[in-house]
Amino acid sequence: GAGVSQSPRYKVTKRGQDVALRCDPISGHVSLYWYRQALGQGPEFLTYFNYEAQQDKSGLPNDRFSAERPEGSISTLTIQRTEQRDSAMYRCASSGYRDRVGKLFFGSGTQLSVL
């Protein structure tokens, strides 16, 4: 696609429910990153992939958070048993293989609200 696409744009859920957030990166981009951003804060790193391999998940807050990218393209970030503190903007970014220095292209994000 022309850019990074994320869905849904908005997600409202009740505490305790599971949610799945989707990211469709720019076609051909090898690296895919997930960030979380609270209001007034910069994006906070969660995890990233090269192709289908999860390279680093050190930013995932706890084991309720997981991510996958099974075919090296679309990625899903899953939050189980959501809590109110999980409410935030979740952003996905992708970058090309040779551009390892961090030139990222971001999607519009998914705004998650946990009631």
Partner 1 sequence: DAKTTQPTSMDCAEGRAANLPCNHSTISGNEYVYWYRQIHSQGPQYIIHGLKNNETNEMASLIITEDRKSSTLILPHATLRDTAVYYCIVRFPSGGSYIPTFGRGTSLIVHP
Residues that bind partner 1 (CB under 8 A): 4, 33, 35, 40-45, 48, 55-56, 58, 89, 91, 93, 100-109
> C-beta of 96: minimal distance to partner 1 in Å?
12
User: Is the Cβ of residue 74 or residue 80 nearer to partner 1 in the bound state?
Assistant: 74
Question: What does the DSSP assignment read for the chain?
Answer: --S-EEE-SEEEE-TT--EEEEEE--TT--EEEEEEE-TTS--EEEEEEETTEEEE-TT--STTEEEE-TTSS-EEEEE-S--GGG-EEEEEEEE-SS-TT---EE---EEEEE-
User: Is the Cβ of residue 82 or residue 95 nearer to partner 1 in the bound state?
Assistant: 95
> C-beta of 81: minimal distance to partner 1 in Å?
27
